[in-house]
Amino acid sequence: MRVIVVGAGVVGTLHAWQAVERGHEVVQIEREAEARGASLRNFGQIWVSGRAGGEELATALRARELWEEIGARVPGLGFRPNGSLTPVRGALELAVAEVAVASEDAAARGHKLLAPDEARTLNPALRGDFTAALYCERDAAVEPRTAQLALRAELLKSPHYTFRPGREVREVIGRGAVRDDHGDVHSGDVVVLCTGAWLGGLVRELVGPDLPVRRVRLQMMQTDPLGEPLTTSVADADSFRYYPAYACAELDALNAGQPQAETAAAHRMQLLMVQRADGGLTIGDTHEYEHPFAFDTLEDPYDHLTEVVESLLGRPLPKVRRRWAGVYAQCTDPGRVVHRQQVRDGVWLVTGPGGRGMTCSPAIAETTANELGW
């Protein structure tokens, strides 16, 4: 087959990967010189721990397997099975963690509840005070700023792969055919539109106003090197409020008896933190849903994150090197991992993985390939 992939973010690139792996000819088109959206502006987390049970968890676990397989072939991904720790404080947070480790799928996630000394043995950088820590062995990480570049370098080794950057697809002109803003037509047996948060223009023309996907904006930051290993990813108990895996009566009691800090609640915040290959920390995040999004970033969320991180590390945060905002596309149906829709004959739209994009993309692409009969 000849497969046209539109978009060079992580979702598009993994679709290209799947097609090439199955022996097909692939042309991948990207409107920028390289992807610049949420595929780079994220934690690089392969985040199994918070995924909803059922299809979402199964997708994340399959993606985790695929990331490890690809990472063995492509060292530039920076794949590492680092796991995660979520320190908890007090009886209400502890109760939610206890429910998580007692759940039917706890073993699949690799969930364990650790005493503080056990958690510090696993991650000595956590010198702050906490009651216990929820461990997820299946969580992992890659390097988001270089992952697509590393994957593309490997794809370019294949004579069946072509990358066309700096071209914006403007029009579907027939079965499995699109025209770009250079006037060139790209024809294939199938076109897969992996346009990320770009939901206007061509996507709006093809789908109309009822696309069940919304855009979400987040703020994050990255520090200078920590000076020591942060051996696991780290979350705080506010992640219980955000991720669907933790929904339970004990979470309701936490929300009622121990509401979020004012800044965290106002910006729908949780702490996620992972160490980069250079030793710096990527820290976030916020969630904004109301359009139009602000063009600037706010300092209060960064101040809150700094306070939380320093309380867990028991030391000052290294100098912040970068701050940024990003926008991703999220399905409005919470039961769906991704929105996959045939929009024209031979043309499919795949979008809306939300904060699951980096985690689930390999399995999302595999499912697309299976369903389309590649």
Tell me the CATH number at 1.
3.50.50.60
CATH of the domain at 235: 3.30.9.10
Check residue 340 and give left, alpha or beta (phi > 0: left; psi -120 to 50: alpha): beta
Residues 158, 294: one domain? no
Same domain, 223 and 311: yes
Q: What is the DSSP string of 196-240?
A: TT--STHHHHHH-TT-SEEEEEEEEEEES--SS---SEEE-THHH
Question: Do 60 and 177 belong to one domain?
Answer: yes
Residues 173, 151, single domain; the answer is yes
Same structural domain, 238 and 286? yes
Alpha-carbon 52 to chain mean position? 15
189 and 300 belong to one structural domain: no
* Reported pTM: 0.96
Residues 261 and 326 in one domain: yes
10, amino acid identity: V
- Amino acid present at 326: G
Rounded distance, CA 114 to CA 120, Å?
A: 9
Same structural domain, 128 and 143? no
| Dihedral sign, Cα of residue 40, residue 46, residue 52, residue 55 | positive
What total of structural domains would you count in the chain? 2
Sequence letter at residue 208 = G
Q: Provide the pLDDT for residue 209.
A: 87
46 and 157 part of one domain:
yes
Same domain for 284 and 236: yes
3-state secondary structure 136-179: ECCCEECCHHHHHHHHHHHHCCCCCEEEEECCCEEEEEECCEEE
Q: Looking at the structure, do residues 248 and 315 belong to the same domain, yes or no? A: yes
Residue 334 has a pLDDT of 82
User: Which residues are CB-contacts of 373 (< 8 A; sequence separation ≥ 6)?
Assistant: none
Q: pLDDT of the chain along its 374 residues, tens only? A: 999 999 999 999 999 999 999 999 999 999 999 988 888 899 999 999 999 999 999 999 999 999 999 999 999 999 999 999 999 999 999 999 999 999 999 999 999 999 999 999 999 999 999 999 999 999 999 999 999 999 999 999 999 999 999 999 999 999 999 999 999 999 999 999 999 999 999 999 999 989 999 999 999 999 999 999 999 999 999 999 999 999 999 999 999 999 999 999 999 999 999 999 999 999 999 999 998 999 999 999 999 999 999 999 999 999 999 999 999 999 998 889 999 999 999 999 999 999 999 999 999 999 999 999 99
Q: Which among 313, 331, 349 is the end of a domain?
A: 331
Indicate whether 176 and 308 sit together in one domain. Answer: no
Range of the domain at 106: 84-137+213-331
Q: Is 213 exposed, middle or buried (0-12, 13-18, 19+ CB in 10 A)?
A: buried
